[in-house]
Copies of this chain bind each other. A is one copy, B any other.
Amino acid sequence: MAQQPLQVAVLGAGTVGSQVIRLLSEQSAEFAARAGAPLEVASVVVRNLDAPRDTPIARELLTTDATSAINSADLVVELIGGIEPARTFVLDALRQGTSVVTGNKALLAAHGPELYEAAAASGADLYYEAAVAGAIPVVYGLRESLAGDQISQVLGIVNGTTNFILDAMTSQGLSYGDALAIAQERGYAEADPTADVEGLDAAAKCAILASLAFHTRVGIDDVAVEGITAITAEDIDEASRSGQVVKLLAIAERGDNGISVRVHPALVPQDHPLASVDGAFNAVVVEGEAAGRLMFYGQGAGGAPTASAVLSDVVAAASHKVHGGNAPRESTYAKLPVLPASDAVTSFQLRLRVEDRVGVLAEVASLIAASGVSIQAVAQSQPGPDGTCVLTLTTHPATEGSQQAVISALRDSDAVREVLSAIRRVVA
């Protein structure tokens, strides 16, 4: 029964890679029992053999020769990130029939189809739990546990940086800029925070979630994206006053005519399970026709949590290799159309600075009605010394196109001095 050890090549020795190597070595007996064969780290591919590392790695494992490492491995773990050379390495492995575990969301969102096809052609497995929400097993959940259900919606908080920033704005009343500065100081945001705060990281994850939930190919270019840079302290304050919090959500929805895939800040009611997800945590809510509402919650980033997700994939890939059989394939049989952003059904909360005069509310209301959008609620503030007041109004769900037409019309209207904010709402 003694199985030959499986040779694992780890590409990249950063925070996640070094945790993967540490855990494989510290818990080798457990991994052997779970996978059905010992797992041996045969090589660790790095760019610079002498770079300083958080966790020391045995010198004889390190190599800069990715090709040899991949060619001699039974299993490749790709933790380099970015598109190239990660794409080439992953394709090389898959084309040889060597299974790959990756945490690379950018690669999957940009080149998923090419990778899935290479895996299918050679019979290799491609696993990517760590690419979506760190330790949270949502890829597994969607691919396997909900395989017996029809999913109507996926709502996720999948970016820790923006969740930290919005959380700091909410709990400490900070401006966006001050909250970002704190996030950068503490290492939650990078010096160039664009990928996080503009929603691009969340968009890559959203594309992966939508592909899994709807058995349809969705790439990052299919995702309508809006980041959090326009969110103000007043928006957060106004949200609190109305029993809501602002979260950056990745949303994938199934409609009658296709699927809508988008990332944007949204007002979430305080009693919604996503409202209390704060700081570094991620959570994904899935609505299934039969299952009802499910939520997966946990740490979305960090070396050890992400390593945990990578290692569960390693065990699955190794176990398939030892015991035979097929891993779950990317199933895209549904081929649902991805709707244009303007066809998504949304609802807005708008804050408008208007003249404080008789008839202004009627003007605004008739202007909105003319776009075919109806108003759900409206509240008017006390007038300020400048003779203006603030109207806060929420619209009933309508297409994003109609809602944007409303917002443009309001911007052009003489009755409206300024559209202070326009934030979409999650209707629980």
* Residue total for A at the interface (Cβ-Cβ under 8 A): 58
Task: Indicate if A146 sits at the interface (CB-CB under 8 A).
Answer: yes
Q: Specify which of B23, B141, B295, B298 is in contact with A140 (CB 8 Å cutoff).
A: B141
The answer for the CA separation of A302 and B288 in the assembled complex, in Å, is: 14
Ordered by A's residue number, 11 sampled pairs between the chains whose C-beta atoms are within 8 Å are A31-B148, A33-B333, A135-B290, A137-B144, A140-B144, A147-B312, A148-B310, A290-B304, A291-B298, A291-B299, A295-B297
- Please report A residues at the B interface, Cβ cutoff 8 Å: 19, 23, 27, 30-31, 33-34, 129, 135-137, 140-141, 144-150, 215, 273, 276, 288-299, 302, 304-305, 307-316, 319-320, 323-326, 328, 331, 333-334
Q: Given A135-B288, A290-B19, is A146 in contact with B298 using a C-beta cutoff of 8 Å? A: no
Q: Given A31-B148, A290-B135, is A297 in contact with B273 using a C-beta cutoff of 8 Å? A: yes
Tell me whether B135 and A23 are in contact (CB under 8 A): no
Tell me whether B308 and A298 are in contact (CB under 8 A): no
The answer for the CA separation of A19 and B33 in the assembled complex, in Å, is: 37
Q: Given A33-B331, A276-B276, A331-B34, is A291 in contact with B325 using a C-beta cutoff of 8 Å? A: no
Shortest CB-to-CB span from A427 to chain B, Å, is 20
| Residues of B contacting A319 in the complex (Cβ-Cβ under 8 angstroms) | 326, 328
Tell me whether A308 and B331 are in contact (CB under 8 A): no
Tell me whether B135 and A316 are in contact (CB under 8 A): no
Q: Which residue of B lies closest to A215 (CB)?
A: B33
| Residues of B contacting A33 in the complex (Cβ-Cβ under 8 angstroms) | 215, 331, 333
Tell me whether A148 and B292 are in contact (CB under 8 A): no
The answer for the CA separation of A293 and B135 in the assembled complex, in Å, is: 9
